[in-house]
Homo-oligomer: A and B are copies of this chain.
């Protein structure tokens, strides 16, 4: 249902005028989808996302293909999109991955740490500190060549093995990532369990630790339906970088029955209603996600995509 004038735009006090969406569908989304998507389709997906107005589109991962077979075509894909006029960060696990990314001319990389020992062990087969030590030369070399570095931090709000995650533990790893040289952090609720009081508490603690809010992004999963309420809470705290996945692509492999990333469309609907500028054309974005859902052979988990996926928003070529 698309109705002229909806959502009504009614700004709220104490919210930022502009939000930058860090689009993760092509990387975090596709890496967690069962189907492997052809390289040309991925490239087309990224082009369409850029065309919809997204300005930061995480493109792929240089993790070893053994661990992420869905993104094994990073070397083929990146040259197909690198000339797009948008930021195209790529995930890099270690120096070997950095070499591959730099060889292709990547201007932005992202490393990924864990707030908990259990997930560091499961995901990186290292302790938290061993992982940080591994990233040290990666970040240093990237910075030395003028490459922008994002640091992902998983399990900031709860861990499937450890349960509650103490805030000082999260603050410590954030501080360490900033001290390594990360330009920006992405605070991940990897299993989607966070609620708004926790978001406020962590952001307050990070402020007290003198980590600038401008360097913080939030990355919420919608496993328990909390992602947008948590995002709103982070915006109230001054955060202006929000991770989201077009069409809600992807999910956490540890919660198979559940949904994954916050859908970019659901986020854009809220921000549009709040009069917060994102530069995104919602109709084009919905059409792109509907197109990708058709490629994946299943409906989009994004509620907004499902509500708006009418003929008038489909890509005419696909009808």
Nearest opposing residue in chain B for A309, CB measure: B257
A226 pairs with B228, CB closer than 8 A? yes
A269 pairs with B224, CB closer than 8 A? yes
Q: What 0/1 readout, one digit per residue, does chain A (165-204) give for beta carbons within 8 Å of chain B?
A: 1000000000000000000000000011111111011000
A194 pairs with B273, CB closer than 8 A? yes
Whether A258 touches B163, Cβ cut-off 8 Å, given contacts A10-B198, A196-B274, A225-B263, is: no
Q: Distance in Å from the Cβ of A14 to the closest Cβ of chain B?
A: 11
A158 pairs with B6, CB closer than 8 A? yes
Nearest opposing residue in chain B for A263, CB measure: B225
Whether A225 touches B303, Cβ cut-off 8 Å, given contacts A1-B255, A158-B3, is: yes
Q: Distance in Å from the Cβ of A231 to the closest Cβ of chain B?
A: 8
Q: Distance in Å from the Cβ of A138 to the closest Cβ of chain B?
A: 31
Residues of B within 8 A of A7 (CB): 158, 193-195, 198, 224
Whether A259 touches B306, Cβ cut-off 8 Å, given contacts A195-B270, A197-B275, is: yes
Interface size on A (CB < 8 Å)? 59
Asked if A254 is at the interface of the complex by the 8 Å CB criterion, the answer is yes
B229 pairs with A306, CB closer than 8 A? no
Q: What 0/1 readout, one digit per residue, does chain A (1-39) give for beta carbons within 8 Å of chain B?
A: 101111111111100000000000000000000000000
The CA of A305 and the CA of B10, in the complex, are separated in Å by 32
Question: Which of A5, A229, A233: most chain B CB closer than 10 A?
Answer: A229
Q: What 0/1 readout, one digit per residue, does chain A (269-309) give for beta carbons within 8 Å of chain B?
A: 11011110000000000000000000000000011101101
Nearest opposing residue in chain B for A303, CB measure: B225
- 9 inter-chain pairs at a CB distance below 8 angstroms, sorted by A residue, are A3-B160, A3-B193, A8-B193, A10-B201, A196-B274, A223-B303, A224-B266, A225-B304, A226-B228
